[in-house]
Amino acid sequence: MFGIWRNRFTAKLGKISGSVCGLCALVLNQATADEYFCTPEHAAGFSYDEATKDWKDIKYPINTYYTITAIKFGKHAYVVKQLGNPDPLVFCQADFSSAGYLLCQRHHINFKFSKKTGKYIMFSSGEYLNEERVSGLRGPWMQIGKCVQY
């Protein structure tokens, strides 16, 4: 009985993995020399609960990928975008520091990337600082992951 379930699960997993690999190949084929593809590993945060009038911790899904691209446009050196979204998530006003860090920000979202380790951290204050509390309001959150140059 479990053998049939395992075979069906393995077949579906193979199809999903193939789709993700195909998507990665598409992204990598359109890259320039100074770009990075970022994959989240963990994400967590808080959400306001109207019933308890308090914040509760939640685990966010990690199904969004990111690209870091050199743009050298105006005062911006790099831009971070969600894969498939043409709008910038954050801008990086300076190039990599001498220590290999890239620091980016837009509104309440901060993105920091280490060229040496390939790790990134992204975090946001969300709507936590607002005086008005709304149930289900997205509060502070943090995501960590890794990026590879392509």
Q: Profile the chain (150 residues) by mean pLDDT over runs of 10 residues.
A: 39 45 42 82 89 86 93 87 94 94 93 97 85 67 95
Please indicate, yes or no, whether residues 48 and 118 belong to a single structural domain of this protein: yes
Structural domain including 46 reads 32-149
> Tokens 């392509």 — which residue?
150
Q: Which two tokens stand for residue 4?
A: 């049939």
Is residue 62 a contact partner of residue 55, using CB atoms and an 8 Å limit? no
Please indicate, yes or no, whether residues 69 and 126 belong to a single structural domain of this protein: yes
Please indicate, yes or no, whether residues 46 and 9 belong to a single structural domain of this protein: no
Give the global pTM.
0.72
Helices (H), the chain: 2-29
Q: How many domains does the chain have?
A: 2
